[in-house]
Chain A
Amino acid sequence: MFVINCPHCNEPREEEEFHYEGEAFIARPAEPETQTDAEWGDYLFMKKNPKGWHWEMWGHSAGCRKLFVVKRNTANHAIDGAWTLTEARAAYDAEMAKI
């Protein structure tokens, strides 16, 4: 059990109010019909699944019902922050550029 700060409701709420919505910023192929089965399969199923910091989406399903981004450590549930999708994008891109 942990607490997430919903950027839309602007206050910390119990985990029970939220749904996990998967890894954040996975780009859907612009032209699915030109993809091979292997490429499409990678898009659907091949997730990063790290032990450590992970950029993921959560939905405030019992509250505002918006999706947003959380940077969470999968090993110890530490949360670095929660942002709207737009706000998180820049920070995500900057971090990915460093890797």
Chain B
Amino acid sequence: MSNLTFNPVMQSPLHHFNLKTKQQHVDGSKGVWANEMPLLGYISLRGNAQNALFTKAAKKALGFALPILPCSLISTSWGCIYLLSPDEWLLVCDRELRTELQQKLEAALVGIHSQVIDNSGGFTTVFVQGKNASDVLHHCTVYDLNALTIGKVVGTTFGKTSVFLHQHNNGYKVIFRRSFADYIWRYLERSALPYDFGIANLGSS
């Protein structure tokens, strides 16, 4: 038969748009700039926020207390913690950090009713910025972006699918499932057309 060996390669779900080759230095020439922040680490953490054992153990493992107010997020030294639901958090970090983070959590939460899942293959993030960034997002979602204050993350609609949205560096981070990446990117590009759209060089941000 074949002598081909199975040699999987890690690719972002927006790989086929070749965003890296199209990216430009961000300036005032476009109304909207966007690019993917590819291949981050995503860990899903579930547990009872009212259980002090759980919150203490998570704090010990993460170095930061879990946000517990509805729709809140905190930035940490290693990434970000989002409260997605009263008993569910999403931890986003550099991909290289995710195994260590997961192991720390699992070790700290032994015997405590909880769940830690590496969901890094399941999500990606797009950063949208520029003077018309909020105009474009208003075409895509039913959420009133004026209510999206700093420190807040909301799950809402994006076209016919759903995303998590929050403010970041004078722009917005859009976090969504890998399976909808193609749809969401095209929707965003199409919505941005009237404002002039550029693929941003995000550098290391």
Which residues of A come within 8 Å of B, CB atoms? 8-11, 13-14, 16-17, 60-66
Task: State the Cβ distance, A3 to closest chain B Cβ, in Å.
Answer: 10
Which secondary structure dominates where chain B touches chain A?
Answer: strand
Contact of A64 among B84, B142, B157 (CB under 8 A): B84
Contact yes or no, A13 B85, CB < 8 A: no
Contact yes or no, B142 A9, CB < 8 A: no
Interface residues of B in 63-113 (CB under 8 A from A): 70-71, 84-86, 88
Task: State the Cβ distance, B141 to closest chain A Cβ, in Å.
Answer: 9
Contact of A8 among B85, B143, B156 (CB under 8 A): B85
Kindly state the separation between the CA atoms of A22 and B71 in the bound complex, as whole angstroms: 26
Contact of B155 with A by CB under 8 A: yes
Contact yes or no, A8 B162, CB < 8 A: no
Contact of B156 among A10, A63, A66 (CB under 8 A): A63
Residues of A within 8 A of B143 (CB): 13-14, 17
Contact of A9 among B70, B88, B157, B162 (CB under 8 A): B70
Contact yes or no, A62 B156, CB < 8 A: yes
Residues of B within 8 A of A10 (CB): 70-71
Extra pairs beyond A17-B155, A62-B156 (19, CB < 8 Å): A8-B85, A8-B86, A9-B70, A9-B71, A10-B70, A11-B70, A13-B143, A13-B156, A14-B142, A16-B142, A16-B157, A17-B142, A17-B156, A17-B157, A17-B162, A61-B162, A63-B155, A63-B162, A66-B86
Residues of B within 8 A of A8 (CB): 70, 85-86
> Which residue of chain B has its CB nearest to the CB of A10?
B70
Q: Shortest 6 CB-CB distances between A and B: which pairs?
A: A62-B162, A63-B155, A64-B85, A14-B142, A10-B70, A62-B157
B145-163, CB under 8 A of A: which get 1 and which 0?
Answer: 0010000001111000010
Residues of A within 8 A of B86 (CB): 8, 64, 66
Residues of B within 8 A of A9 (CB): 70-71, 154-155
Contact of B155 among A14, A16, A64 (CB under 8 A): A64
Kindly state the separation between the CA atoms of A80 and B86 in the bound complex, as whole angstroms: 23
- Among A8, A10, A17, A63, the most chain B Cβ lie within 10 Å of the Cβ of A63
Residues of A within 8 A of B88 (CB): 64
Residues of B within 8 A of A65 (CB): 85, 155
Residues of A within 8 A of B71 (CB): 9-11
Residues of B within 8 A of A61 (CB): 162
Task: State the Cβ distance, A59 to closest chain B Cβ, in Å.
Answer: 12
> Which residue of chain B has its CB nearest to the CB of A15?
B142
Kindly state the separation between the CA atoms of A9 and B153 in the bound complex, as whole angstroms: 10
Kindly state the separation between the CA atoms of A61 and B147 in the bound complex, as whole angstroms: 20
Kindly state the separation between the CA atoms of A11 and B86 in the bound complex, as whole angstroms: 14
Residues of B within 8 A of A63 (CB): 154-156, 162
